[in-house]
């Protein structure tokens, strides 16, 4: 079973002005365990980051699906809620799920998540949209366990300017990330560890 892990790494980065600065950046990747996540991040970033880098934190991150658009590189974490179906003798439960979508703005993220979930057979609400500090996402591939053909999302397909951007969906097969609303506060605490100080809540307009 593969899950999403947020791995924070620390390294010396060369800025656009030529200066060097010590930074900490989070990356999201699919892996089976914390150990696998650490091993994979070293493999993925070995050819991207110049010089040495250290893993300073690994957190399991509960993301239901990721909608990647080639025309945007800013990630937004979108939380949706809906009422689950219940048996006759049970009350319906509030279910909360988290998604990531690449977009140009909060409004763009809102529009894209509505479009991406348009086939969902339940009525859902979007209580919040926040900017995610995720730098790069390394999704699950068929050859993940063989340790070959691992590519960042932007290298999966080239963007064609003549075609309207369409989202790619990345999931972690085998993981069940649906959570009851009652447990969402605990899950949000885990997710908040990966969020930047620049995150802004967005409430759906009535």
pLDDT band at 183 (very low <50, low <70, confident <90, very high): very low
All structural domains of the chain with their residue ranges = 3-192
pTM: predicted TM-score of the whole model, two decimal places: 0.69
Distances (CA, A) of 59 to 38, 80, 102, 171, 190: 11, 21, 21, 17, 7
| C-alpha gyration radius of the chain | 18
High-pLDDT (> 70) share of the chain, %: 67
Provide DSSP, 37-94: HHHHHHHHHTTTS-S-EEEEEEEE---SEEEE-TT--EEEEEEEEEEPP--TTS---E
Q: Is 5 a residue whose pLDDT tops 50?
A: yes
Mean pLDDT is lowest, of 2-11, 43-52, 84-93, for 84-93
pLDDT tens digits, one per residue of 121-173: 889 999 999 999 999 999 876 555 444 344 444 443 333 344 445 567 766 65
105 contacts 46 by C-beta, under 8 angstroms = no
Report which of residues 82 and 86 the model is more confident about.
82
As a whole number of angstroms, the distance between CA 103 and CA 93 comes to: 30
Mean pLDDT throughout 18-24?
Answer: 91
């Amino acid at each position: 079973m593969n899950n999403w892990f947020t791995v924070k790494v620390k390294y010396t980065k060369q800025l656009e002005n030529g200066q060097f600065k010590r930074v900490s950046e989070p990356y999201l990747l699919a892996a089976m365990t914390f150990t696998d996540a650490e091993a994979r991040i070293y493999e993925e970033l070995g050819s991207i980051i110049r010089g040495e880098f250290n893993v300073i934190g690994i957190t399991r991150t509960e993301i239901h699906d990721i909608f990647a658009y080639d025309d945007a590189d800013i990630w937004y974490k979108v939380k949706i809620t809906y009422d689950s179906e219940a048996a006759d003798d049970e009350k319906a439960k509030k279910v909360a799920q988290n998604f990531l979508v690449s977009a140009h703005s909060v409004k763009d993220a809102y529009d894209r998540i509505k479009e991406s979930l348009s086939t969902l057979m339940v009525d859902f609400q979007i209580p919040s949209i926040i900017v995610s500090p995720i730098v790069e996402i390394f999704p699950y591939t068929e050859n993940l366990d063989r340790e070959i053909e691992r590519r960042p999302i932007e290298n999966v397909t080239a963007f064609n300017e003549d075609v309207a951007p369409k989202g790619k969906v990345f999931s972690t097969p085998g993981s069940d990330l649906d959570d009851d609303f009652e447990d969402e506060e605990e899950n949000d605490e885990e997710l908040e560890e990966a969020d930047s100080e620049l995150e802004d809540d967005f409430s759906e307009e009535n």
